[in-house]
Amino acid sequence: MSQPSTSPAAAPATRAATQLRCADGRLLQAHWHEPSGPVRAVAVISPAMAVASPFYKGFAEWLAQRGYAVLCYDYRGIGPNLQGHVRDESAGLREWAQLDMAAALRAGHKKRLAAQEAQGRAVGLLMIGHSFGGQAIGLAAGFEQADALLGVAAQAADWRFWAGLQRLKAALFFHALLPAFGHAFGHAPGWLLGPRAQGLPKAAALDWARWGRRKGYLFTDPSLQHELGYERFTGPVHLWNVTDDTLFGPGPAVDHLGRQFSAAQVQRLTLDPQHLGLRAIGHFGMFRRDLGERIWPLLLGPVEQATPVLRQNLAAVQAA
């Protein structure tokens, strides 16, 4: 495992509300976490399935202390972007990726251009995707403008990539539980999805169930074949799995996602809780504030070193 880069001295970060305008005109509530000094890079954090953005606040603040301007946002129908009851939200996963992710990436690119003009030097753009936030990024227009992708427990959620009892559970989840609850309640309850999840809109739940039943996940969906852009990305792609994440992120599923980035510099890295003296990390533990100082430098260090514009700016900050 690559050694994490040395952190510059922590400095207070500021948090400011903003709005993202999607291509269909819908406005999404979001927040920027800004460094106190110069912006050395921009990061866009795309959440996991039905996980609200405050879950990533600690990580965003830590990145801002390292000189990143960090955009945290929620998909439509989640958190502050739920209008009315979740049963009334018509958005599916395609809208989350092609409209919401794309709007966040446009805002990140705009922030990067403004910082470059103000500072007279190149500023990197890092995409960070947790689970769904990393697996669906190739559906978002303009994602190839980023310099690097950091996928955290991001995967191709085809039930065939699980093993043993977990494989049976995954098959049951996608074939029966997810569609049944989606139809019965008009949404998938958060408790069905995981300890951090909110209610999932019906269309999104049915999309997820349909992709999860397909061999190859969303990457073999005939309706998406002219919309997949993973092969256009040529920068570093670092995909992390956790050895005890048997619920949502087994290694083979992460590997299959990596194969979609056929022109990129892909690395699959593994985090073992025992190597960090921890009993468990799971699918959500890598963003826990209380574990952050042990985990976050490990996630960020290798992708910074693999990305020239991030590496150069890091060196400049450390030399200052």
Structure tokens at 308: 């020239």
The answer to whether residue 159 scores a pLDDT higher than 60 is yes
CA distances (Å), origin 45, targets 12, 65, 169, 176: 20, 16, 29, 31
Where does the pLDDT of residue 164 fall: very low under 50, low under 70, confident under 90, or very high at 90 and above?
very high
Beta pairing partners, 124 = 41
Strands (E), the chain: 14-21, 27-34, 41-46, 68-73, 124-130, 148-152, 187-188, 200-201, 236-242, 265-271
The answer to whether residue 11 scores a pLDDT higher than 70 is no
Share of the chain above pLDDT 70, in %: 94
Mean pLDDT of 37-47: 96
- Tell which wins on pLDDT, 127 or 10: 127
Where does the pLDDT of residue 194 fall: very low under 50, low under 70, confident under 90, or very high at 90 and above?
confident
Of 102, 26, 117, residue with least CA distance to 71: 102
Burial 210-222 (b: 16+ CB within 10 A, else e): bbbbbeebbbebe
Mean pLDDT of 290-299: 94
Of 279, 250, 299, residue with least CA distance to 152: 299
Q: 223: Cβ–Cβ under 8 A, 6 or more apart, which residues?
A: none
Walk me through the domains of the chain, giving residue ranges and CATH numbers: 14-159+226-319 (3.40.50.1820)
Interhelix angle 202-213/178-185, nearest 10 degrees: 160
* Number of helices and strands in the chain (H, E): 11, 10
CA 95-93-215 angle, 5° bins: 135
Q: Beta strand 148-152 with 236-242: parallel, antiparallel or unpaired?
A: parallel
Q: What is the pLDDT of residue 7?
A: 46
Q: What is the pLDDT of residue 5?
A: 44
Instruction: Tell me how far apart the alpha carbons of residues 86 and 84 are, in angstroms, rounded to a whole number.
Output: 7
The predicted model scores a pTM of 0.94
Instruction: Tell me how far apart the alpha carbons of residues 121 and 127 are, in angstroms, rounded to a whole number.
Output: 20
